[in-house]
Structure 1
Amino acid sequence: MQKFEISYYDGETSVSHNAFLSLQHDSWIIEYIHPLFGNRAVKWEIDRVERDMGFTSIFIFRYGDFPKQTLECKDERLLNSLKKFYPDKPFFDKKIDFLLRQSTTLILGLTASLIGLIICSYVYILPWFSEKAAGQIPVSMEIKLGEMMYENTIARYTKNDSLTACVNDFVKIIDFKTDYPIEVTVVAEDEMNAFAMPGGHIVIYNQLLAKMKSKEELAALLAHEVSHIHYRHSLKNIFRTLSGYLAISLMLNDVNGIAVVLADHSNMLVNLNYSRNLEQEADEKAIEIIKANHLNLNGFVDLLALLQTGNTDLQPFKLLSTHPLTKERIAFVKEMAKGQTAMKKNDSLEQKWQTIVAFEKR
């Protein structure tokens, strides 16, 4: 059986492994020696293998979901073997392979054009690409990245353990219609703010909590922030903002590189801005959550009124700089509250709210 020498990337790090590739009828077998785990064999199902049509003499193939596994091969016999083993599979493009082997000038010209395109589109295409890449990250990986960012961010604050425990007890009673593990941290700050983090963490400043008058207001705030998490707004905004730093790691499927960049910029979560469209999407999801839990939507109206009133004080609500409060948002929530039915009394939630109020007064 013919084997080809390759460089193999497992998708977890940017480190390459010297390996051998064997072609099977319905799969590829990659064999290599892992520095920690010894001899390893990886199977790629043939229908999931993709080829990168790069402008080099190296044959590059990728496999699986993000972060994809990658192999690189310089042996030109590989293409002939692919044609023989898989005549119906589009692993190669005859025209581009022919051209790349005929003209060095063409290669240089195409490379120069590509560099020019990258430079011209840096501001527009790269942020869009990064945001789309964020949407492809598995939830399990997002939760790990979010946990790391949370640890870096929360170290700058003084955590109120009592209020944190009370609010998390409050959270447990509400069904937020999401698979993310929601965990709230209350911190001691003079400003009025709250922000969501990728993966499930929410940070609330105690001064904002102290301004609230009812459990429905707190439920509305949490529902809105959970909605940002559910739709991955925080993750997508971070990737868009840091696209220049993340580009190389995304192209190389380097998870460790992505983690390092996010860790170094965790502080930006405090001032992460949301567009009107994202705010509208989060509001709609929040309303869905509030209705499903049979809570009064007027609590959401009261929350928006609180933010609007507070913004006229000498010290404005910092939350409004990141969550723009428009007339359209307020009118929309008021309209939804008018037609609400099927509200129910929730004694358990009220009890948890009174416990929060009691701790705030201490």
Structure 2
Amino acid sequence: MYNYSVRYHDGRLSIAHDATLTLMPDHWLIHYRDPSGELTSVRWTLPGIVTDENFSNLFIFRYGDFPQQTIECKEESLPATLKKRYPEKVFFKRRITNIFKLNNATIVGVALAVLMLMGLGYWFGLPWLAGAVASRFPVSTEVEMGDTMYDNMIQAYDVDDQLTAATNDFVKSIDFKTHYPIRITVVKEKEVNAFALPGGRIVVFDGILRKMKTKEELAALLAHEVSHVHYRHSLRNIFRSLGGYLFLSVLVNDINGIVTVLADNSNMLANLTYSRELESEADQKAMAVFQADGLDLQGFVDLFTTLKNEHEDVANLKLLSTHPLTGDRLRAAEEMAKRQKAVREDVALERKWERIEEDLE
């Protein structure tokens, strides 16, 4: 009644032995013949026996320190016998395969619950986790990541060296209140656009420069993009977009793996959009920079007016837009500009803007 046919592995040799398992009151006895034909017995005490989780009717038990001994049994009556023989010890927990024995309605309910949890994790858990990891990410690694993305994607653009030099000189006259090394690249593109990469790289299309009329407009654009860098918005977006792989890479400190993923997806990652919350946060930080430097907040009003005119057809789709409406941002900038008191005229910055205008001609 308490004897079962099993396959026994002693943990030392790769071969398995046909054996007999005898369930004694406080231990198990395993009888088998070794390669020389000699009958051998092995004793397993109950506390040291561990059951393997599996998804079949093959029952597997392990015993001892590494390399562990193992027995395998296919007899379906074994679980019931173990429960009766040793009522104080639990050998088998409820297995996930038991789910498939449930009725269809229950299975559908379980599936919907799992999908709901996955959805909640994506929409709420992943953004929080992305922000938490981004906030603890080494700045030096972030700069390296941004440089890798930049090197891979800039090859698709025609860089304007003169405008790039002039704009970087322009940047030196503004204190953006950030510890990141800000490096601007101007490319020849008609699109009215600019974007920031992790670590301080900012790409500006000359199409947006040609729409500008004042130095304050350019300063507003750059202050906004620098704020995305400063608050690590680009990094957070990247972790959310490539969350699973990058989080695992961070956990195992696989920086090369991160760099490889970024290199393969640089163009896609550069086009990620920011949420309304992140855009608003960047606007507020940028306007605070203006107030601290005494720059005229009318620059934001002019910039947002330009953007609104360029993207009027998109800006009106409030429910479909992933950005704050340009109209909403414009009204916020107008209110801030009305309340601004101290504005200074920066002659040096004006001269640098005039140089950019000359290069645009």
TM class, shorter-length: 0.5 to 0.7
Instruction: Give the deviation of 1:321 after TM superposition.
Output: 7.4
Instruction: Give the deviation of 1:244 after TM superposition.
Output: 3.2
Size of the aligned set, in residue pairs, is 257
Structure 2 residue matching 1:211: 3-state secondary structure = coil
Which residue in 1 is equivalent to 2:259? 259
Which residue in 1 is equivalent to 2:121? 125
Report the Cα distance in structure 2 between the residues aligned to 1:105 and 1:220, rounded to whole angstroms: 65
Report the Cα distance in structure 1 between the residues aligned to 2:277 and 2:156, rounded to whole angstroms: 31
Instruction: Give the deviation of 1:124 after TM superposition.
Output: 4.2
User: For residue 137 of structure 1, what is the amino acid of its counterpart?
Assistant: F
- CA offset digits 1:77-108 (Å, max 9, x no partner): xxxxxxxxxxxxxxxxxxxxxxxxx8774597
Instruction: Give the deviation of 1:233 after TM superposition.
Output: 0.4
Check conservation: 1:274, 1:324, Cα contact below 8 A. Answer: no
Q: CA RMSD in A?
A: 3.1
Which residue in 1 is equivalent to 2:215? 215
Which residue in 2 is equivalent to 1:347? 347
Check conservation: 1:191, 1:205, Cα contact below 8 A. Answer: yes
Check conservation: 2:215, 2:353, Cα contact below 8 A. Answer: yes
Instruction: Give the deviation of 1:177 after TM superposition.
Output: 0.2
User: For residue 169 of structure 2, what is the amino acid of its counterpart?
Assistant: D
Q: 1:119 to 1:280 in 2, by over 3 A?
A: same
Counting only pairs closer than 5 Å after superposition, residues 1-362 of structure 1 correspond to structure 2 as 105-106=92-93, 121-125=117-121, 127-128=126-127, 129-312=129-312, 323-361=323-361
Q: 1:118 to 1:185 in 2, by over 3 A?
A: farther
User: For residue 255 of structure 1, what is the amino acid of its counterpart?
Assistant: I
Which residue in 2 is equivalent to 1:82? none
Structure 2 residue matching 1:173: 3-state secondary structure = coil
- CA offset digits 1:168-217 (Å, max 9, x no partner): 00000000000000010000112111000100010000111111000000
Structure 2 residue matching 1:334: 3-state secondary structure = helix
Which residue in 1 is equivalent to 2:14? none
User: For residue 163 of structure 1, what is the amino acid of its counterpart?
Assistant: L
Report the Cα distance in structure 1 between the residues aligned to 2:207 and 2:280, rounded to whole angstroms: 25
- CA offset digits 1:153-172 (Å, max 9, x no partner): 11111100000000000000
- CA offset digits 1:247-277 (Å, max 9, x no partner): 4323323222122112211112442111111
Q: 1:254 to 1:218 in 2, by over 3 A?
A: same
Structure 1 stretches lacking a partner, 5+ long: 1-56, 58-74, 77-101
User: For residue 182 of structure 1, what is the amino acid of its counterpart?
Assistant: I
User: For residue 140 of structure 2, what is the amino acid of its counterpart?
Assistant: S
Check conservation: 1:272, 1:322, Cα contact below 8 A. Answer: no
Question: 321-330 or 340-349: which moved more?
Answer: 321-330
Check conservation: 1:271, 1:322, Cα contact below 8 A. Answer: no
Check conservation: 2:304, 2:326, Cα contact below 8 A. Answer: no
Report the Cα distance in structure 1 between the residues aligned to 2:253 and 2:92, rounded to whole angstroms: 30
Report the Cα distance in structure 2 between the residues aligned to 1:299 and 1:341, rounded to whole angstroms: 15
Q: Which has the higher contact order (CA 8 A, sep 6+)?
A: 1
Question: 326-335 or 230-239: which moved more?
Answer: 326-335
Which residue in 1 is equivalent to 2:77? none
Report the Cα distance in structure 1 between the residues aligned to 2:329 and 2:354, rounded to whole angstroms: 29
Question: 237-246 or 278-287: which moved more?
Answer: 237-246
- Larger C-alpha radius of gyration, 1 or 2? 2
Q: 1:124 to 1:240 in 2, by over 3 A?
A: farther
Report the Cα distance in structure 2 between the residues aligned to 1:153 and 1:354, rounded to whole angstroms: 30
Report the Cα distance in structure 1 between the residues aligned to 2:313 and 2:278, rounded to whole angstroms: 27
Report the Cα distance in structure 1 between the residues aligned to 2:321 and 2:153, rounded to whole angstroms: 19
Q: 1:297 to 1:244 in 2, by over 3 A?
A: same
Structure 1 residue matching 2:195: 3-state secondary structure = strand
- CA offset digits 1:254-313 (Å, max 9, x no partner): 222122112211112442111111111001001011111111000110000111112248
Check conservation: 2:197, 2:270, Cα contact below 8 A. Answer: no
Q: 1:228 to 1:124 in 2, by over 3 A?
A: same
Check conservation: 1:130, 1:246, Cα contact below 8 A. Answer: no
Report the Cα distance in structure 2 between the residues aligned to 1:209 and 1:321, rounded to whole angstroms: 24
Instruction: Give the deviation of 1:241 after TM superposition.
Output: 1.0
Q: 1:165 to 1:245 in 2, by over 3 A?
A: same
Q: 1:153 to 1:121 in 2, by over 3 A?
A: farther
Check conservation: 2:145, 2:259, Cα contact below 8 A. Answer: yes
Instruction: Give the deviation of 1:246 after TM superposition.
Output: 2.1
Report the Cα distance in structure 2 between the residues aligned to 1:130 and 1:282, rounded to whole angstroms: 18
TM-score, normalisation: structure 2 = 0.64
Report the Cα distance in structure 2 between the residues aligned to 1:250 and 1:210, rounded to whole angstroms: 41
